[in-house]
Amino acid sequence: MDTEQITLQEYCKRLSQAVATAEGVQNVWVVAELSDVRTNASGHCYMELIQKNEDGSDLAKIRAVIWRSAYARLSAKFTAETGQTFSTGLKVCVMLTASLHPVYGLSVVIADIDASFTLGDVIRRRKEIIDRLRSEGILDINKSIQFADVPQRVAVISSATAAGYGDFVNQLYRNAYRLRFDVKLFPAMMQGESTAPTVIEALNRVEAEDAWDCVVIIRGGGATSDLLAFDNYDLAAKVAQFPVPVIVGIGHERDVTVLDDIAAYRVKTPTAAAELLIGFGKAMLDRIDSLASSVVNMALGVISAYREQLAHYQSTLPLLPVAAVRDAENRLVRLSSSVASVKTAIEARRTKIATLISSLTLSSAHVLSRRKSEIDSVAALLDALSPEATLRRGYSITRINGRAVTSIDDVAQGAKVTTIVADGVISSTVDSINANK
């Protein structure tokens, strides 16, 4: 056999040298997603770096390590700059160096981490969700919902075993103002991949009951990376369109999620969420106290005014009867004088009326006598001029068809005529007509 024969150790040595001197595999910045991140007892951090396609299936995967000598420094730097721990689920940009050990085999070592990339990716994803909600017109719906004056019926979405939930309930029930709240827990996962689906399902249960003034979503402290589960579009859309106000108290003061930008209220801790609800009640108590003070002040003002009025009446009341009697006496004197004047006027009127009656009687008799004489004269004249008087003097009236005959032209020969005399009527027929010569 003419080919060269070498030992496995030599082959591994050559391969190690090839890897160490190969271009493009030493100190290269690589973008990938972290998976299965864990630290062993020796302080080394092991993980898988994954690249996925759009449907979520793996395109590439490789094991990687951060040696103990660098891990503490890189981890602290990453957390300080991003506010998150170096953990599964993050998208990172890391500097990789490949090496091949004759015994331990191929290693991909992380020499550095670009924290700004991870921070930018989280912010980018959050911005994409916010922009999408804004374009759909639902970003500010929950913010615009009016809180009840005192939201006392509170639906809480949290892990049943979370210390934050216990802190919230204790703070709420032990408030210094003895305000009463009706609280019901709707359990949900508050970290990991099940967070968004279980919180959405809890919101659906709350909505189905239609009996709550507000919803409180709370989660206590913990790894900042756990909060990435809340940067979820479906969950954000559900909260944005929820029909009652949502209060979000997730993580620490420095932590921010998409829900903080769309919920009606964002507080820093579960305890702060309880304090917010207590604050609503305290504000109402203050309003009631203010109204009560206003009512008391108004009542005191009215009582003071009536007291002054009563004092005035008490000082003037003894004088009123005397004044009233004096006024009545004066009025009586004036009325007596007026009655005497009226009596005198009446007597004068009576005398005048009697005189007028006497004058009227005499004048009437004289006028009637004169009018009777005039009427008698006219009657005698009318009697003398009447047709009957004329007939008594020897005259007669001849008529044809009821009309008086005043000319021979009114009569024709043979006509029947009627002649009226003083003591009767004569009917005749005309034989001849002779005109005066």
What are the residue boundaries of the structural domains of the chain, listed by start? 8-113, 138-284, 318-385, 389-429
Per-residue pLDDT band for 379 (boundaries 50, 70, 90) equals confident
Residues 385-408: tens digit of each pLDDT = 777 777 777 778 888 888 888 888
433: left (phi over 0), alpha (psi -120 to 50) or beta: beta
SS3 34: strand
Per-residue pLDDT band for 314 (boundaries 50, 70, 90) equals confident
Per DSSP, helices labelled H in 386-434 are 387-392
Paired tokens of 277: 């609800």
- Between vectors from CA 177 to CA 175 and to CA 182, what angle results, nearest 5°? 60
> What is the rounded distance in angstroms from the CA atom of residue 95 to the CA atom of residue 109?
8
Paired tokens of 51: 């690249």
Lowest mean pLDDT of 23-27, 83-87, 410-414, name the range.
83-87
Residue 135 pLDDT: 95
pLDDT at residue 416 greater than cutoff 80: yes
Residue 217 pLDDT: 96
Residue 343 pLDDT: 83
Distances (CA, A) of 227 to 10, 31, 238, 250, 252: 50, 21, 17, 8, 10
349 with 357: CB under 8 angstroms?
no
- Between vectors from CA 45 to CA 44 and to CA 48, what angle results, nearest 5°? 140
Question: Alpha-carbon torsion 49, 52, 58, 59, what sign?
Answer: negative
Give Cα 117 to chain centroid, integer Å.
47
Residues 9-26: tens digit of each pLDDT = 888 888 888 888 887 888
- Residue range 126-140: mean pLDDT, rounded: 93
pLDDT at residue 1 greater than cutoff 70: no
Residue 377 pLDDT: 80
Q: Is the model's pTM score more than 0.85?
A: no
> What is the rounded distance in angstroms from the CA atom of residue 188 to the CA atom of residue 164?
13
Residue 252 pLDDT: 61
Residues 201-235: tens digit of each pLDDT = 999 999 999 899 999 999 876 555 567 788 899 99
In terms of average pLDDT, the best of 2-11, 172-181, 335-344, 422-431 is: 172-181
Q: Tell me: domain 8-113, CATH 2.40.50.140, correct? A: yes
Lowest mean pLDDT of 93-102, 133-142, 145-154, name the range.
93-102
Question: Alpha-carbon torsion 275, 279, 285, 290, what sign?
Answer: positive
Q: Alpha-carbon dihedral of residues 189, 193, 196, 198, nearest 10 degrees?
A: -40
> What is the rounded distance in angstroms from the CA atom of residue 417 to the CA atom of residue 430?
7
Lowest mean pLDDT of 81-90, 110-119, 124-133, 234-243, name the range.
81-90
- Residue range 235-256: mean pLDDT, rounded: 87
187 with 158: CB under 8 angstroms?
yes
Residue 53 pLDDT: 86
pLDDT at residue 48 greater than cutoff 70: yes
Paired tokens of 136: 């759909």
pLDDT at residue 180 greater than cutoff 90: yes
pLDDT at residue 186 greater than cutoff 90: yes
Strands (E), 343-423: 397-400, 403-404, 416-421
Per-residue pLDDT band for 282 (boundaries 50, 70, 90) equals very high
Paired tokens of 404: 């008086």
> What is the rounded distance in angstroms from the CA atom of residue 349 to the CA atom of residue 354?
9
- For residue 147, what is the DSSP state? P
Instruction: Name the fold adopted by 138-284.
Output: Rossmann fold (3.40.50)
**Which residues is 157 bridged to in the sheet?**
186, 217
Residue 254 pLDDT: 60
Chain mean pLDDT for the chain? 86
SS3 93: strand
pLDDT at residue 285 greater than cutoff 60: yes
Q: Indicate if 138-284 has the same CATH topology as 8-113.
A: no
Question: Alpha-carbon torsion 98, 103, 105, 108, what sign?
Answer: negative
Residue 221 pLDDT: 63
Residue 113 pLDDT: 94
Classify strands 153-158 and 58-66 as parallel, antiparallel or unpaired: unpaired
Residues in the chain, overall count:
437
Percent of the chain whose pLDDT exceeds 90: 37
